[in-house]
Amino acid sequence: MLTLINKEIRSFLGSLIGYIVIVVFLITVGLIMWVFPGATNVLDSGYANIDTLFYIAPWVFMFLIPAITMRLFAEESRTGTIELLLTKPLTDFQIVLAKYIAGFTLVLFSLLPTLVYFYSVYQLGNPVGNIDMGGTIGSYFGLLFLGSVFVAIGVFASVITNNQIISFIVAVFLSFFCYVGFESISSLDFFRGIAYIIVKLGINEHYVSMSRGVIDTRDVIYFLGTIALFLIFTKTVLSSRKW
């Protein structure tokens, strides 16, 4: 399984698109945080925090993570190498898990450089270090979990088609719906009686909860459960190729 993980990571980093995805993420967030004037600009706001990163990143991830995951299974299906992969001494779930871990690792690579933004704000604080460490750490955990869910969604979208563009579109739609779709549905009069339950099904509710700096086990269970659900869906679709 480690061999497959390494293969996927090398394949991604060996192509230009890998670096483009990471650079686009960092430049987009960097421009909004430090260059473009307004409430999202750290220097204009006058507060020592990087809340802008945690507000913008989910929306950027919504497009960049599907760009990372769209080829994981779709390209294998298009070229016919999926059949060869299924003959390897790996279970279907190990294949799915390897693809997922590779995708998550790439997301982690894109997040690590943002620690420079944190260090910059840490030094700009008055006094130095005057930043909400608990909220920042919680927000980073929340962003990692959110990215993990988007990767699981992207892997599932990739396994249901051999077309990378379709995989990308499906992943973006599902990520958007899981992030804010449930909140929109809960606002409808028809669902007024169960609005609270519907809101809790959405990612944003749990992401915001973690951003407050409190790692609630209910939020962790939600994220892990959602990841497991999409990985099980992926494994089921992959296994169906043998039927």
Cβ atoms of 58 and 207 within 8 Å: the answer is: yes
Statement: residue 183 has pLDDT above 70 = yes
Statement: residue 241 has pLDDT above 70 = no
Classify residue 212 by burial, with Cβ atoms within 10 Å: 0-12, 13-18, 19+: middle
Range ranked top by mean pLDDT from 12-21, 134-143, 147-156, 208-217: 147-156
Classify residue 132 by burial, with Cβ atoms within 10 Å: 0-12, 13-18, 19+: middle
What's the rounded mean pLDDT across residues 156-172?
91
Q: Please name the residue ranges forming H helices in 31-132.
A: 42-45, 51-69, 74-79, 81-86, 92-111, 115-124
Within 8 A by CB and 6+ apart from 204, the residues are 58, 179, 180, 183
> What pTM, to 2 d.p., does this model score?
0.90
Statement: residue 243 has pLDDT above 60 = no
Residues 23-64: pLDDT tens digits?
888 888 888 887 887 777 777 666 667 788 888 889 989 998
**Mean residue pLDDT across the chain:** 83
171's tokens: 């992943």
Cis ω for the linkage preceding 127 (within 30 of 0) = yes
Residue scoring higher pLDDT (177 or 42): 177
Residue scoring higher pLDDT (228 or 43): 228
Helix (H, G, I), strand (E, B) or coil at 80: coil
How many Å apart are CA 217 and CA 208, to the nearest integer? 14
Cα atoms in the 13 Å half-sphere on the side-chain side of 190: 2
How much is the pLDDT for 48? 66
Cα atoms in the 13 Å half-sphere on the side-chain side of 148: 19
220's tokens: 């962790």
How many Å apart are CA 50 and CA 124, to the nearest integer? 12
Domain ranges, ordered by start, for the chain? 2-242
How much is the pLDDT for 50? 78
How many Å apart are CA 95 and CA 234, to the nearest integer? 10
- Largest Cα separation within the chain, whole Å, is 64
Statement: residue 156 has pLDDT above 80 = yes
How much is the pLDDT for 46? 65
DSSP state of 227: H
Residues 110-152: pLDDT tens digits?
888 888 888 888 887 677 767 777 778 888 898 999 999 999 9
